């Protein structure tokens, strides 16, 4: 969890109205190809409860849920819990895409998703880091969305593996 981004913080007078979004991606390279970025919007006051509920469904000893690593039953269970929490969610899709243009598709999806999240009153957005060379593309898409939308979203990249330092913009 990224504490310096404020997502998931315990409710306090400074963040009672704060809203954060957690974003993840999926890409299909086989024709016709497609790129999906999905976000779940979580008000800060609900974040501790949401985290507790979702952690109940982690595998024994697990520290996080990752779609790619889970089996079909685990995925269905996790999604049912998430749906049951009644949280707003958004999805941005680019399809069809040329697999060689995956970064462009992600950038366009990210830009659109950030604009929509701003409309929902989201202040903080959490993305998983994809290695520095790919994170550069995300930062460009974030800057483009900020210029177009005039918003002040704070975005944070969490390390994909290991306890490396979080990178934030905004």
Which is higher by pLDDT, 137 or 83? 83
More confident residue, 169 or 15: 15
Residue 77 within a domain: no
Across all residues in the chain, what is the average pLDDT?
A: 76
Instruction: Determine the average pLDDT of the residues in 9-19.
Output: 52
CATH code: domain of residue 134:
3.30.420.10
Q: Specify if 52 maps to a domain.
A: no
pLDDT tens-digit series, residues 99-156: 778 888 888 888 888 888 888 888 888 887 777 778 888 888 788 777 776 656 666 6
* Cα–Cα separations (whole angstroms), residue 5 to 49, 66, 98, 121, 156: 18, 21, 34, 15, 6
Q: Decide if 55 is inside a domain.
A: no
Within-domain flag for 125:
yes
pLDDT tens digits for range 17-41: 678 888 888 888 777 878 888 999 9
Q: Tell me which residue range forms the domain holding 122.
A: 3-46+87-169
pTM for the predicted model, two decimal places: 0.73
Count of other CB atoms within 10 angstroms of residue 127: 22
């Amino acid at each position: 969890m990224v504490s310096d981004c404020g997502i998931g913080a315990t409710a306090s007078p400074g963040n009672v109205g704060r809203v954060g979004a957690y974003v993840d991606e999926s890409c299909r390279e086989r024709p016709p190809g497609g790129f999906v970025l999905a976000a779940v919007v979580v008000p800060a006051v609900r974040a501790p409860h949401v985290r507790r509920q979702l952690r109940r469904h982690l595998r024994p000893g697990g520290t996080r849920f990752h779609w790619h690593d889970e089996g079909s039953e685990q995925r269905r269970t996790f999604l049912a819990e998430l749906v049951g929490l009644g949280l707003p969610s958004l999805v941005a899709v680019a399809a069809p895409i040329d697999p060689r243009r995956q970064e462009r598709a992600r950038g366009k999806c990210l830009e659109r998703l950030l604009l929509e999240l701003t409309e929902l009153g989201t202040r903080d957005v959490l993305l998983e880091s994809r290695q520095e060379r790919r994170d550069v593309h995300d930062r460009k898409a974030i800057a483009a969305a900020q210029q177009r939308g005039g918003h002040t979203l704070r975005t944070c990249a969490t390390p994909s593996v290991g306890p490396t330092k979080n990178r934030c913009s905004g």
